[in-house]
Structure formats: structure tokens, C-alpha cells
Amino acid sequence: MRILGIETSCDETGVAVYDEQNGLIANQLYSQIALHADYGGVVPELASRDHIRKIAPLIQAALQQAGLSAADIDGVAYTSGPGLVGALLVGATVARSLAYAWNVPALGVHHMEGHLLAPMLEENPPAFPFIALLVSGGHTQLVQVDDVGQYQLLGESIDDAAGEAFDKTAKLLGLDYPGGAALAKLAMQGKPHFTFPRPMTDRPGLDFSFSGLKTFAANTIAANPDDGQTRADIAFAFQDAVVDTLIIKCRRALKQTGLKRLVIAGGVSANTALRHGLAQLMQQLGGEVFYPQPQFCTDNGAMIAYAGFLRLKHGQTSDLAIEVRPRWNMTELPPLTSI
């Protein structure tokens, strides 16, 4: 079974082909970073238009990379939510049209389920059950994963996601878009001069809040000299606070559930400090941590092709109606056993 996966939820156009026997055999990705850089963030209308321009050439490139023709594709998976509605509609429309023309089934995939399952593309995939920390520009969630489609939300951000807080704080520091990676790079030059709060760690529960931390950073920036070392020290303190908060909540989730496997996925999972901190945590707890390679941390078609493959193989399909869900709770997804 060979599945074509299409990802257009935000500002990356991703197309990939997953083969049941050979794994990932094609992966094409186009990033819109340069397009949105002048605006300091994603402009939804521009994102949608760029997806329209790039999606057909990327599909052709993916098929060529895999050495396949349309006749070799057994199904089409596409991101149907959550995400920017215009961007989602581009991928959904193209995917549904191709599936109809090729006479194969199509399936709308949950974007965050794609991220959650991305570590399954690695040589050493995690076994179920496990705790998943999903950290990206739009989401910060702790999820207990008993199997594909068997998800229990343990905690989530009540305001800014971790990635969003990274980007906003980077902008306050005068860093170029995308800010999260730039802040992490600047933090490597910083020293532990400032101490930032660890939000919501002084109370029980597994929810997150990073909006106040961003405000604390803004006040710290305003109250100190505007020089390179000070900015680096603030970046260090901010990143240290976010990473420590995520580690504290992961420790709680693991203790609460008794599980010993932790999966980290989403754009922020590429952060070196976070990976190092969670590796230390799992070593202390006698457990294991799993994460995708950096190219599969950010949005990509490979994770959508794989997630789509699992559900299409079990008989789940979407009807001909082109429907996207900008907001979509992952716990609403059916387990594979019920399909």
C-alpha cells in the first residue's frame, strides 16, 4: 500500500509518499519563511496563495523521487485540521480531486496526530503506551497515548503555546523571523544572569501558561541595557524557564500515569536544550525518550502520509465533501480498532 501525504496547515507545503513495505520513499518540502519574514509572522492569505503555487510541482517531484506514477498510489492523505482555514482548503481540495481522478480513497488527517506519530518513522520507534509532549507554535499538550486513536489529554496551554511564546519573545529581542530558532541560537551565548519564573509549576495539574512569561521577558528587556550580551542572557533565561517548565510537567505526567516512555514532537521538539533536559529526566527515571529527526519536527508531508496510511489500511476514509476543521480536538479521533 502506497499513500501520498499532503500537508498545508500553515506555512510549509509538504508532500511525501509512504510505502507499506519500504517506508518513506519520497519527501518534498517547501518553506514559506522568506515570504513571511518581512511581516514578522505568517500572513494567512499569502500562505494560501503560496500553497496553490507550490503544491502541484511538489506532488510531481515526490512521485518522481519515488519512481512512481499516479497508477501506483493507493490512497491520498491530507491535513484537514487544525490550522489556517485557507491553507487547509488548498491541500484538502487538491487531495480530494486527485483521489477522485485516480479512483482511490482519501482521508483527512489530524495535524497533531501526524506530529505525535512522526517518531514512528525512525529506526527505533516507541512502543505503546507512552506520554507525548506536543510542542509547536500553536500547541503545547501532554497526551497519554495507549494506541493510535486512543488519546487522553492530560494538560495543555491555556494561552500562548510554547512555540508562540518563543517567537513573540524573539521579536521583542529584535530577532528575525522565525524567532524560535533564532532565540535558541542566541541563548547559546547567554549566561545565567537572570532568573525567570516557571509558570504554573507551583500548583497541581498539567496545564501550561506561557503568556505571562513573555510579559516578564518584555519587562526585563525594557529594564536593562540594550546590548548583545544582555539580550543573550535574557534569551538564555527565557529558554531555561520554558524548558524547565516543560520538564517539570513531563515528570508529573510520567509519575501520574506510571509510564516510562516519553515522546516529544512538534517544532519546538528540535530545541537542543529541551532534548538534553528530557534525556536527563528519562535517565533519572529509568525510562526512554523518543523524538523525530529535526526534518520531521516541523510540519511535513511524511507524518501525514504515515498517519494516513495507518488509518486507510484499517478502512477509514473521508467522503467526497471537502471539509476542513481549523479547530479540532485530537481526543475526538476514533481508535483503529473501532474502524
Which uninterrupted H or E stretch holds 171?
A: helix 162-172
Determine the residue type at 18.
Answer: Y
In sign, the C-alpha dihedral spanning 188, 193, 197, 201 is positive
Per the CB < 8 A criterion, the answer to whether 304 and 114 are in contact is yes
CA dist list (Å): 195 to 171, 179, 239, 314: 20, 21, 11, 50
The contacts of residue 218 (CB under 8 Å, 6+ apart) are 169, 172
Cell of 77: 492523505
Strands 261-265 and 130-135, sheet pairing: parallel
Q: At 335, is the secondary structure helix, strand, or coil? A: coil
Detail the residues annotated as belonging to a binding site for substrate. Answer: 134-138, 167, 180, 271
Cite the annotated binding site for Fe cation by residue number.
111, 115, 299
| Percentages of the chain per state (helix, strand, coil), in multiples of 5 | 50, 20, 35
Q: Known binding site: residues?
A: 111, 115, 134-138, 167, 180, 271, 299
331 contacts: CB under 8 Å, gap ≥ 6: 151, 152, 153
The rounded radius of gyration (Å) of the Cα atoms in the chain is 20
Burial-class residue 11 by CB neighbours within 10 Å (0-12, 13-18, 19+): buried
**Which three cell numbers, joined as nine digits, stand for 273?**
536544550
Q: d(Cα 168, Cα 137) in Å, to the nearest integer?
A: 10
Contacts of 10 (CB under 8 A, 6+ apart): 42, 47, 83, 84, 87, 137, 138, 299
Burial status of residue 224 (CB atoms within 10 A of its CB: 0-12, 13-18, 19 or more): middle
